[in-house]
Amino acid sequence: MGKIFTIGSARKTAEEFFNLLKDSGVTKIIDVRLKNNTQLLGFAKYPDIEYFTREILHGEYFHDKKFTPSEKILSRYKKNQIDWEGYEREFAELMNYRDIDVYIADRYAGQENYCLLCTEPTPEFCHRRLVAERIRDVLGVEIVHL
């Protein structure tokens, strides 16, 4: 069984972040954040994250917008207009609308050593966990949260 990894950049130093990835054998970062280039992201903002991935991990970086939440869903959650359960439901509907299972099978089957990147420090209330679970269900891989 293959593995996929997930990681959040918040509350980690660049050293902690990249050592976790390197120690896990990650060679490709799949960025699932809606916005990947704001100043608040520190070392994990684009294009810096692409450079660090290439230079430190000797790997690739890809911003996969098919896995991002919509601005509307994210905004409603941040404004407490929906709770986490509502967020999960709306995000699942969005993934179904995007025909994400077919996309996963076409784009990610056979790929190894990649990690889904988001901001939240832990996966419990982060959509990267939901994306990882969809990938697991489609490809039969194991999920490792770093």
63-95 per-position pLDDT tens digit = 999 999 999 999 999 999 999 999 999 999 999
The pLDDT, as a whole number, for residue 138 is 97
The pLDDT, as a whole number, for residue 128 is 98
Q: Residues 111-124: pLDDT tens digits?
A: 989 999 999 999 99
The pLDDT, as a whole number, for residue 124 is 97
CA-to-CA distance for 95 and 37, rounded, in angstroms? 23
pLDDT mean over 87-106: 98
